[in-house]
Structure 1
Amino acid sequence: MVQSQTAQPPLALQDMEVMILAGGLGTRLREETDIRPKPMVEINGRPILWHIMKLYSRFGIKNFVVCLGYKGDVIRDYFLNYVHHQSDIAVDLGSHSVEVLARGNEENWRVVLADTGRDSNTGARLKIASKYLKNDVCMATYGDGVCDVDIAKLYDAHNDAGRDVTVTAVHPEARFGEIEIDGNAITEFVEKPQTGSGWINGGFLVFNKKVFAEMPDKPALSLEQEVLTGLASQGRLSAFQHNGFWQCVDTYREMLLLNEMCARGHIPWLGQYAPDA
């Protein structure tokens, strides 16, 4: 195992920066992404990007670097007008002035909106946006998935492992149900079970910043197929196994699923659990 050497004590969690990949085309959710980037698809009246940031902020994290690409201006406009989106306002069309009458809920977030190119791949986006990082370690995730992972435990696991990148490994729910058959009799019917074998990359990663400097300047650079694969072969990649809730939003059905959960008050990524869920 190749271990990274750190002379300084671990960065305090509240000083952590989070890079969020928010530039993909979202082709499998074309019903929504024809008009907005996938991270702006709404869950319970808020963009999924907001839900992801809120997840991290539960652990005291307030610094974000959003890697923009496809329809990035939609995300820019959202944050530039964030206060107005959350507040009661009066607009004077004659003087072009805007008065905030009653402020809504505001977040103590610092958000860097970094243009990483419309057609860049995931690895290239992280490398381009990494110039805005202030610390030697950061977190990163995708802009289309939520999870009830304990961010503090993830960070502790990264520091304990001593490797350069830690990936949150998850068991996704199976897309279809499973049946057990004996002869022509079904002995067990399970609707959409959680897969029991094989882990997948669930996002929610921790990076030692030096990894970005090692990445080649290549627009097509894939985080998954090139960067993480290479680190694994060098013994520099760790897994943080998460057996709790995880859900990405790749399809319209998955968007509806998360909205239905929120309607029941079951929002595990924000620490809300409905008793009947």
Structure 2
Amino acid sequence: MKVLILAGGLGTRLAEETTIIPKPMVEIGGYPILWHIMKLYSHYGFYEFIILLGYKGYLIKEYFANYFLHQSNVTFDLSNNKMEIHEHHCEPWKVTLIDTGQNSMTGGRLLRAKPYVKDEPFMLTYGDGVSDININALIKFHQNHKRSATVTAVQPEGRYGTIVSNQDGLISNFIEKPPGDGVWINAGFFVLESKIFDYLTEGDATVFERTPLESLAEDKELYSYKHTGFWKCMDTLRDKQQLQEIWDRDQAPWRVW
């Protein structure tokens, strides 16, 4: 099963980094967050990736063009213009990089990948979110329900602590940053059947999270897989710093490999 990763957005809320590089190339622990996402999938045996490029996509191409060299021990014989690879530490990945347009929406980018996935089921996620989700359990859930699409749902951490008190102000309970109000949100990590391409009817302007998912829900073709473990999206510089702090403490839950 191929893994598609959306990596073409402008990332304007992380402008401190994305004026120079695309958001999927922003580093956590010295590696792009895109690499972290790919390591999660490959831990479960999925090695074939299709990266949907847009903004500054050439930098992602250059990263993978040089990846093998960067992961290898090498001797350069400059006098004879030769290079010898001694050993390498690369993952067994096959990476297809598709230019999906500078201004395409998420559904438009996905539509351009149709010739590469054909009639096979596939996975899709965003290039800025990490999780300790069990990919095999997600796929099994999708297959058991026999519908066109499964989206992973999570309860995001609240931004503020919750206080429960009586009229006199005596606090009976305090919860620091609880899950937000019982609401489940779209966390990516989709499993999709090829039928979903029939719902991408607006070309490059298709926003996957709007009409396509709404229509799938109306047709009873969309299920949610509720993940109660770790998930975090790197939307802002604060998010990036928090992920880096977790990594530096060697407590990154998404590092399952």
Does the TM-score normalized on the shorter chain lie above 0.5? yes
The match for 1:243 is 228
Aligned AA (1:106): C
Aligned residues: 256
Secondary structure of 2:205's counterpart equals coil
Q: Is 1:138 aligned to 2:122, yes or no?
A: yes
The match for 1:3 is none
Q: Is 1:175 aligned to 2:156, yes or no?
A: no
After superposition, the Cα gap between the structure-2 partners of 1:92 and 1:36, relative to the gap in structure 1 and judged at 3 Å, is farther
Secondary structure of 2:246's counterpart equals helix
The match for 2:10 is 25
Distance in 2, matches of 1:90 and 1:151, equals 39
Q: Is the 8 A contact 1:127 1:213 kept in 2?
A: no
The match for 1:147 is 131
Among 117, 141, 159, the residue aligned to 2:143: 159
Q: Is 1:229 aligned to 2:214, yes or no?
A: yes
Q: Is the 8 A contact 1:91 1:97 kept in 2?
A: yes
TM-score, normalized by length of structure 1?
0.87
Secondary structure of 1:203's counterpart equals coil
The match for 2:72 is 87
* Structure 1 unpaired stretches of 5+: 1-15, 273-277
Aligned AA (1:244): G
The match for 2:38 is 53
After superposition, the Cα gap between the structure-2 partners of 1:100 and 1:191, relative to the gap in structure 1 and judged at 3 Å, is same
Residues 119-166 of structure 1, C-alpha deviation per residue, up to 9 Å, x if partnerless?
A: 000011001112111552000000000111111111011111111000
Residues 207-246 of structure 1, C-alpha deviation per residue, up to 9 Å, x if partnerless?
A: 0012114422521110101111111011110011111110
The match for 1:112 is 96
Distance in 1, matches of 2:34 and 2:217, equals 28
**Structure 1 residue 201: deviation in Å?**
0.6
Distance in 2, matches of 1:207 and 1:37, equals 26
Moved more, 208-217 or 70-79: 208-217
After superposition, the Cα gap between the structure-2 partners of 1:90 and 1:157, relative to the gap in structure 1 and judged at 3 Å, is same
Residues 72-109 of structure 1, C-alpha deviation per residue, up to 9 Å, x if partnerless?
A: 00100000110122234455667665444553x21101
Among 6, 12, 20, the residue aligned to 1:35: 20
TM-score, normalized by length of structure 2?
0.93
Q: CA RMSD in A?
A: 1.8
Distance in 2, matches of 1:215 and 1:199, equals 24
**Structure 1 residue 21: deviation in Å?**
0.3
The match for 2:169 is 185
Distance in 1, matches of 2:241 and 2:11, equals 16
Moved more, 209-218 or 199-208: 209-218
Aligned AA (1:139): M
The match for 2:51 is 66
